[in-house]
Amino acid sequence: MNEYLTLAEVAEAAGVPARTIRFYIARGLLDGPIKAGRGAAYTANHLARLERIKSLQSEGRTLSEIGRILGGVEAEQAAAAPTAWWQHAVADDVVVWTRADMSPWRTRQVRAAIGELARFLGKERKE
Amino acid sequence: MSDTAASFAPVAAPTGEPIRLAMQRLWLTGRVLPAGARLTVQHVFRSGEDKPLEVIYSFPLPRDAALRAFRITGEAFEAHSELRRTEEAVKTYEQGIADGSLSTLARQYGDGVVNLTVGNIRPNETVTVYLEVLAGVELRDDGFRFRFPFTLAPAYHPRMKAAVVAEGEGEMELPPSEFGDMILPRFREDAASLHEVGFDLSILHQLPIEEIGSPSHAIRVRQDRVALATEKDVPNRDLVLDVRFKETAVQVFAGASGEGKRAFAAVVPSTRFGVNTEAARRTVIVLDRSGSMEGAPIAQARKAIEACLAALSESDSFGLVAFDNQVESMSAGLLPGSRENREKARAFLSQVDARGGTELARGFLEAARMLAGGGDVLILTDGEVSGTEQILAQARNAKIRISCLGIGSASQDRFLALLARETAGVSRFVTARERVDLAAVDLFASIGRPVASGLKASANVQPEPQSVVFAGTPVLLFGETEADPGAVELTWDGGRLNLPLPSGDGETGHTLRLLQGSRLITDWESRYPSEEALAPLEKRKQSRVGAKLLALSQAYGLASREMSLVAVVKRAGDRAGELPETRVVPVGMPQDVKFGAYFGAPAGGAPMAACMMPAMAPPTSAPMARKAFGMLSRVRASEDKDAALSVDPLMDLASELEPDGGMPGDSDSVRAARSVAAVLALVAAGHTLTGGAFRSHVARLVKFLKLAGGVSAGERALIGRAIEAASSGAAPRGDWLALARAPGATWPRIESTWRAGFNPRGA
């Protein structure tokens, strides 16, 4: 099998219409073809990504959530309204706000930092 | 409120840069007849990008509508669409895109939503698509209402997903298993920066026009032409046009439609049939309490239901159902229309508030259960639901007659018209800024008691007319004949009508044939469940509905879900393989639906203004935003609420009627006196035995007065004159409303008021 696929072939293989694939590319959910112009080509990676999008959709995720999960939509993320925020009371007089829709890895990282901050401030106060 | 006529070019708020709109203008032109409209919708697309653009514009079809063709023009080119099987059309479109050619596809999906996709618009190029659409109108005995959607209402679906994608911009997704690759527009809270919209229509009529008005837009009327009065408007509500004729009469249109045939359409007012019978009515009123009904609509609907119930007698029976995602009914079965039960209804209604989703089918299925096969259902709803084919299938299976009062500024007109028609009921649609209560009482007066039944039309009529006719709603017939001059014949239980066809011109004949086709296609579309319509071609070939739609599309040259419109323009310099940038055209949130209700609260500039978790909230609980989307509590804009909430004093008066049809009172004498005053108050406001929303209340009062006892000869004479006034529509001046509502109204006061206002109204 040819390693490169046309858009029509990707659409056929993934069961996703070509127009929808272009829509995903425009939204940053999927990379564009690896070669532009007449021989525009897509690869197995595109197929895998489409499968991933489909499975996230079936879990009830919106396209914007999927965009954030897949981490490929800086532009959209920046423009998106902050929809929900967590409030972490790290000390009696300090509150830290974090976005509720951060990606899971980032959430872990931020929580660890907040934990450290809380410990640090607690220590400072005792001293 | 967004500026409805911004005269400056839209700019992006943060940067002050002009916004590059992929679609810049949508302009509606065409001819509107009482039998339907033949429209041309102009869409102007422009690419401000440095790469080719693919633009998707998503819109809902009006009622009884179908797409016929489009023409696409630009610098030095013009092309016309072809009607092809949908698979083939999509393939042609995709090949055109792959070849780098300008390609356009108009494809219909479930719920009558259309995606118009124009791909490979070159950098800095302007392309215009003129799309021809056939559409129906909402007929009334004395005129018609025409509605055209300039936006699309977000609609409830149990598996929908909603998200805020940018500040003041929301996105909705529907399950692909049911809706295929249909793309919905983004919903913009502020429509001012979107494409401009407008209209210029001509009205084709036979009867002299009394008035052309619009509850939705400022209009300019010059003879038979009606246009937007301002330079341009924004896409945040439907266009609604009301045409009222000077008289109520039969209208027959006809004209040559090719191959030696003549197409015709006839509009026969309900007044040409009989009067409604006095048979006992069995009615269940179903009230939509979903979040989007909050505010004036639900308050008005509650009041209206009370007034509707006051038109019932003790031999009538009724039920009351309220639904959102749950169903509640006032009683397990139907109750007689007694005073006591009406009080019970009032108590039930007082605790009905707008809240959750819109599970419309559950509401009418409960009503069907209560009616157990016989009677009528009146639904008061905004109809903002998706997956309507499924709901329609349930309605047909329930074998009940459903009449609908639709409420809203963006149209679910197509669905509610179908829901009523497919179950042999009638429908009315009002905008949220009109009087919901009056419309409900008016509709309630028609349903339950047909003015004709067993209606049949001659063989040349298609689709077959509904077998029953209700007061206020004319019968619309379409057909084709080879005979010259030809005629249409209507028969019903106890009546017959022969309508000779006029000669007419070829253009009218052609339009009438297309309107017939779009009506037939809409009917069959409504019977095509999504999973069947989205099945692979081989499987669809087995589908009876699919085959019928294909045949209709071919016979009438109109699109459906089986056939789509496509055009590819090959030009020098087409660059094969270049991937266009895909853009979806946003639309405005409908005027009376708050953005925050579907898409969560819009965020302010500072992060702290966003939805906040309560302090110390455990980080494991679900974010609030997700919860807000799930609840679907749509909140109506508060502006104009007070005006809309003001209840007509006549509505209160009508609610007071006793089950025997008379006004309440301590004695027979007081009751009769108050009833005379009530008749005159209603007549003075334009309601008579046969006309006006309160006609059934007038009829019940008159019936009571005819039988009233305990009155003197002089009083009897006054009663006679009041009954006369109910027929003639002429009432003497006087504060009859106050007298009717005064618990101590006496005959001497009635008589002196009558004498003082002796000059009849208008004399």
Mean pLDDT of B553-574: 97
Tell whether B386 is covered by a domain: yes
Q: How far apart are alpha carbons B248 and B262 in whole angstroms?
A: 25
CB contact residues (below 8 A), chain B span 548-587, against chain A: 575-584
B425 or B275: whose pLDDT is higher? B425
Look up residue B676 and give its two tokens.
Answer: 């005379």
Total number of residues shown for chain B: 763
Same domain, B300 and B433: yes
What residues in B contact A83, CB-CB < 8 Å? 164, 600, 603, 610-611, 623, 625
| Residue B535 in contact with partner chain A when CB distance is under 8 A | no
Most B CBs within 10 Å: which of A35, A55, A62, as the mutation test of the B interface?
Answer: A62
What residues in B contact A80, CB-CB < 8 Å? 164-166
Q: Chain A residue with minimal CA distance to B55?
A: A23
A35 or B660: whose pLDDT is higher? B660
Looking at residue B708, its pLDDT comes to 87
Q: Chain A residue with minimal CA distance to B630?
A: A60
B101 Cα to chain A: minimum distance (Å): 13
Mean pLDDT of B534-553: 93
- Mean pLDDT rounded to a whole number for chain B: 85
Helix (H, G, I), strand (E, B) or coil at B250: coil
Same domain, B320 and B369: yes
pLDDT confidence bin for B153, thresholds 50/70/90: confident
What residues in B contact A95, CB-CB < 8 Å? 615
Nearest Cα neighbor of B417 from B178, B213, B147 is: B147
Most A CBs within 10 Å: which of B58, B94, B189, as the mutation test of the A interface?
Answer: B94
Question: In which residue are the tokens 């102007």 written?
Answer: B44
B516 or B308: whose pLDDT is higher? B516
Looking at residue B17, its pLDDT comes to 52
Contact B44, B271 (CB under 8 A): no
Looking at residue A107, its pLDDT comes to 64
CB atoms within 10 A of CB A96: 15
Q: Do B181 and A97 touch (CB under 8 A)?
A: no
Question: In which residue are the tokens 């038109």 written?
Answer: B311
| Residue A123 in contact with partner chain B when CB distance is under 8 A | no
CB contact residues (below 8 A), chain B span 102-131, against chain A: 117
pLDDT above 90 for B322 = yes
pLDDT above 80 for B762 = no
Phi, psi of B694 (to 5 degrees): -95, 25
User: Where among B417, B446, B475 does a domain terminate?
Assistant: B446
Q: How far apart are alpha carbons B614 and B489 in whole angstroms?
A: 71
What residues in B contact A26, CB-CB < 8 Å? 581-583
Q: Do A101 and B623 touch (CB under 8 A)?
A: yes
pLDDT confidence bin for B357, thresholds 50/70/90: confident
Q: Chain B residue with minimal CA distance to A111?
A: B619
Looking at residue A106, its pLDDT comes to 60
Looking at residue B203, its pLDDT comes to 96
What residues in B contact A23, CB-CB < 8 Å? 56, 183, 582, 584
| Residue B161 in contact with partner chain A when CB distance is under 8 A | yes
DSSP A5-65: B-HHHHHHHHT--HHHHHHHHHHTSS---SB-STT-BB-HHHHHHHHHHHHHHHTT--HHH
In terms of Cβ atoms closer than 10 Å to its own Cβ (0-12, 13-18, 19+), residue B297 is buried
B237 Cα to chain A: minimum distance (Å): 25
Looking at residue B248, its pLDDT comes to 92
Q: Do A62 and B163 touch (CB under 8 A)?
A: yes
pLDDT confidence bin for B19, thresholds 50/70/90: low
Looking at residue B412, its pLDDT comes to 85
Q: Chain B residue with minimal CA distance to A62?
A: B161
Mean pLDDT of B299-323: 88
What residues in B contact A115, CB-CB < 8 Å? none
Same domain, B426 and B507: no
| Residue B606 in contact with partner chain A when CB distance is under 8 A | no
Which of B95-109, B475-489, B646-660 bottoms out in mean pLDDT, i.e. has the lowest? B646-660
CB-closest option in A25, A39, A97 to B579: A25
Structural domains of chain A, with CATH: 7-79 (1.10.1660.10), 85-126 (no CATH)
Mean pLDDT of B530-541: 88
pLDDT above 80 for B641 = no
Q: Using the 8-state DSSP alphabet, how is residue B268 labeled?
A: E
Q: Do A36 and B579 touch (CB under 8 A)?
A: yes
Helix axes A44-58, A63-70, angle to 10 degrees: 130
Contact B723, B695 (CB under 8 A): no
Contact A116, A96 (CB under 8 A): no
Which of A41-45, B16-20, B66-70, B212-216 bottoms out in mean pLDDT, i.e. has the lowest? B16-20
Tell whether B722 is covered by a domain: yes
Tell whether B422 is covered by a domain: yes
Mean pLDDT of B421-443: 86
Looking at residue B387, its pLDDT comes to 85
Structural domain for B361, as ranges: 282-446
CB-closest option in A38, A40, A85 to B612: A85
What residues in A contact B120, CB-CB < 8 Å? none
Same domain, B292 and B419: yes
User: Where among B423, B446, B469 does a domain terminate?
Assistant: B446
Tell whether B103 is covered by a domain: no
The CA dihedral of B742, B744, B748, B752, to the nearest 10 degrees, is -20
| Residue A65 in contact with partner chain B when CB distance is under 8 A | yes
What residues in B contact A33, CB-CB < 8 Å? 579
Same domain, B654 and B669: yes
Q: What is the count of structural domains for chain B? A: 3
What residues in B contact A25, CB-CB < 8 Å? 579, 582
Same domain, B434 and B291: yes
DSSP B378-398: EEEE---BS-HHHHHHHHHHH
| Residue A96 in contact with partner chain B when CB distance is under 8 A | no
* Helix (H) / strand (E) containing B458: none
Q: Chain A residue with minimal CA distance to B603?
A: A81
Looking at residue A127, its pLDDT comes to 52
pLDDT above 90 for B176 = no
What residues in B contact A62, CB-CB < 8 Å? 161-163, 171, 173
Beta bridge partners of B222: B225
Looking at residue B638, its pLDDT comes to 34
* Helix (H) / strand (E) containing B401: strand B401-407
| Residue B32 in contact with partner chain A when CB distance is under 8 A | no
Taking each continuous run of H as one helix and of E as one strand, the counts in chain A are 6, 2
Q: Chain B residue with minimal CA distance to A73?
A: B165
Mean pLDDT of B481-492: 87
Most B CBs within 10 Å: which of A53, A85, A98, A103, as the mutation test of the B interface?
Answer: A85
A83 Cα to chain B: minimum distance (Å): 6
pLDDT above 70 for B600 = no
Predicted confidence (pLDDT) per residue in A72-117, tens digit: 444 444 444 445 667 777 888 888 877 665 544 466 668 888 888 9
pLDDT above 50 for B45 = yes
User: Where among B493, B523, B556 does a domain terminate?
Assistant: B556
Looking at residue B442, its pLDDT comes to 87
Same domain, B458 and B385: no
Which of B161-170, B456-465, B695-704 bottoms out in mean pLDDT, i.e. has the lowest? B161-170
Looking at residue B612, its pLDDT comes to 31
Phi, psi of B264 (to 5 degrees): -145, 160
Tell whether B552 is covered by a domain: yes
Same domain, B317 and B457: no
Q: Using the 8-state DSSP alphabet, how is residue B130 labeled?
A: E
At B408, which CATH number? 3.40.50.410
Predicted confidence (pLDDT) per residue in B192-205, tens digit: 889 999 999 999 99
pLDDT above 60 for B624 = no
CB atoms within 10 A of CB B22: 23
A78 Cα to chain B: minimum distance (Å): 9
pLDDT above 90 for B445 = no
- Measured CA angle at A29 (ends B89, B169), to 5 deg: 85
Phi, psi of B388 (to 5 degrees): -70, -25
Tell whether B191 is covered by a domain: no
CB contact residues (below 8 A), chain B span 316-375, against chain A: none
| Residue B607 in contact with partner chain A when CB distance is under 8 A | yes
Same domain, B405 and B458: no
| Residue B190 in contact with partner chain A when CB distance is under 8 A | no
DSSP B311-374: T--TT-EEEEEEESSSEEESSSS-EE--HHHHHHHHHHHHT---BS---HHHHHHHHHHHHTTS
**Highest mean pLDDT of the ranges A56-60, A122-126, B272-276, B730-734:** B730-734
What residues in A contact B576, CB-CB < 8 Å? 37-38
B87 Cα to chain A: minimum distance (Å): 11
Q: Taking phi first (over 0 means left), then psi (-120 to 50 degrees means alpha), and beta for anything else, what does residue B86 get? A: alpha
pLDDT above 70 for B80 = yes
pLDDT confidence bin for B610, thresholds 50/70/90: very low
Q: How far apart are alpha carbons B92 and B105 in whole angstroms?
A: 9
pLDDT above 50 for B732 = yes
| Residue A8 in contact with partner chain B when CB distance is under 8 A | yes
What residues in A contact B176, CB-CB < 8 Å? 57
B48 Cα to chain A: minimum distance (Å): 16
| Residue A106 in contact with partner chain B when CB distance is under 8 A | no
Q: Do B181 and A19 touch (CB under 8 A)?
A: yes
Tell whether B354 is covered by a domain: yes
Percent pLDDT > 90 in chain B is 52
Looking at residue B647, its pLDDT comes to 54
CA distances from B104 to B112, B132, B179, B281, B513 (A): 19, 14, 20, 53, 26
Contact B381, B364 (CB under 8 A): no
Same domain, B294 and B442: yes
Tell whether B265 is covered by a domain: yes
Looking at residue B597, its pLDDT comes to 67
Looking at residue B633, its pLDDT comes to 27
Mean pLDDT of B453-472: 90
ipTM exceeding 0.90, yes/no: no
Strand-pair category, B317-323 with B282-288: parallel
Q: How far apart are alpha carbons B705 and B440 in whole angstroms?
A: 25
Total number of residues shown for chain A: 127
pLDDT above 80 for A65 = yes
Same domain, B409 and B547: no
Same domain, B416 and B320: yes
pLDDT above 90 for B159 = no
Q: Do A40 and B577 touch (CB under 8 A)?
A: yes
- Measured CA angle at B737 (ends B689, B211), to 5 deg: 55
pLDDT confidence bin for B630, thresholds 50/70/90: very low
Q: Do B582 and A97 touch (CB under 8 A)?
A: no
Taking each continuous run of H as one helix and of E as one strand, the counts in chain B are 21, 36
- Measured CA angle at B18 (ends B230, B193), to 5 deg: 45
Mean pLDDT of B30-53: 94
- Measured CA angle at B338 (ends B333, B343), to 5 deg: 85
Which of B37-51, B60-74, B350-364 bottoms out in mean pLDDT, i.e. has the lowest? B350-364
**Highest mean pLDDT of the ranges A79-83, A104-108, B49-53, B120-124:** B120-124
Mean pLDDT of B478-494: 89
CB-closest option in A80, A86, A100 to B164: A80
The CA dihedral of A116, A117, A118, A123, to the nearest 10 degrees, is 90
| Residue A81 in contact with partner chain B when CB distance is under 8 A | yes
